[in-house]
Amino acid sequence: MYKYIFSLLAAVCVCTGLWADETIAVNTPAADDETEMSNMTRDDRRALRGPAYQGFYLSADLFNPLAGFWNGGRHEFEFSADLGLWHRLFPVVETGFMLQNERSGQVSYGSRGFFLRVGAGYNLLNNQWSRQADHAIILGARYCFSRTSYQASGVTIENPYWGESGSYDISPTSVNQGWVEFCATVRTQICKGFFLGLTGRVKAFKHSYENLSGMPTYTAGYGGEDGDSFNFGLSFTACYQFPYKR
């Protein structure tokens, strides 16, 4: 199911970019202009790049809150704020929280947590001051921290040798974990100040800040704990540039 949902979101993002009134200007200088570019003064180059501050972007993820209606009672919300510098460099802070409550037979499981990501991205597209719209393709990296608390009751353990079984509870436990993410974002300007974005993430190098005797089934911000050395994530965001600088 996720494969079809992700494909649909990607198609929406691309199509809305095609419907935008503005056009994309790609930063690809002609070979004949290389000599002229190298002879520019520092002030000329600054004028070509424009002012350093290009706006403040506030974003909210639309996909994961909706996914809570079919993923078994887990709801995750995510927000981000990034700063546009020359429409090239984007320092970013992302935060969010997760709530999870599941019940299967006599087993009840609950979890909650929050996460924080800090990093930056670089825009590969449309990063000259002469651009006609603020479309962007941004590659970046984040360092992430998460604190997740979980508890369970009615967990059954069976001993096949003796033919016995027992039930026990997991008392409230909190774990602090960190990891690194590598991200790729396509952000399309729909109208003045409003954008839609699609971000893919590869999450790796996860580590804990203390010795753990157990793990939550799902870590806030990271995803399911299935024993793999990396994880993937996808978000579909609505974004507003404040104040609008173009």
3-state secondary structure 142-191: EEEEEEEEEEEEEEEEEECCCCEEEEEEEEEEEEEEEEEEEEEEEEEEEE
Tell me the fold of 2-23+46-241. Answer: Porin (2.40.160)
pLDDT tens, residue by residue, 220-231: 999 987 767 889
Measured CA to CA, the distance from residue 136 to residue 133 in angstroms comes to 9
Closest by Cα among 147, 171, 169 to 98: 147
Query: Residue range 82-101: average pLDDT?
Result: 94
- Mean pLDDT for the chain? 80
Residue (of 235, 140, 243, 125) closest to 194 by Cα position: 243
Q: Residue 115 and residue 98: Cα distance in Å, rounded?
A: 9
The HSE-up count of residue 102 (CA atoms within 13 Å, CB side) is 21
User: Where in the chain does DSSP place strands (E)?
Assistant: 53-61, 74-85, 89-104, 107-123, 136-159, 164-191, 194-208, 218-219, 223-224, 230-241
pLDDT of 170 > 80? The answer is no
| Residue 68 burial (CB count, 10 A) | 16
Give the model's pLDDT for residue 214: 73
Q: Is the pLDDT confidence value at 152 over 90?
A: no
Non-local (6+) Cβ contacts of 211 within 8 A are none
CA angle 227, 231, 232 (to 5 degrees): 155
Q: What is the pLDDT of residue 103?
A: 75
Closest CA to 197 of 206, 209, 184, 208: 184
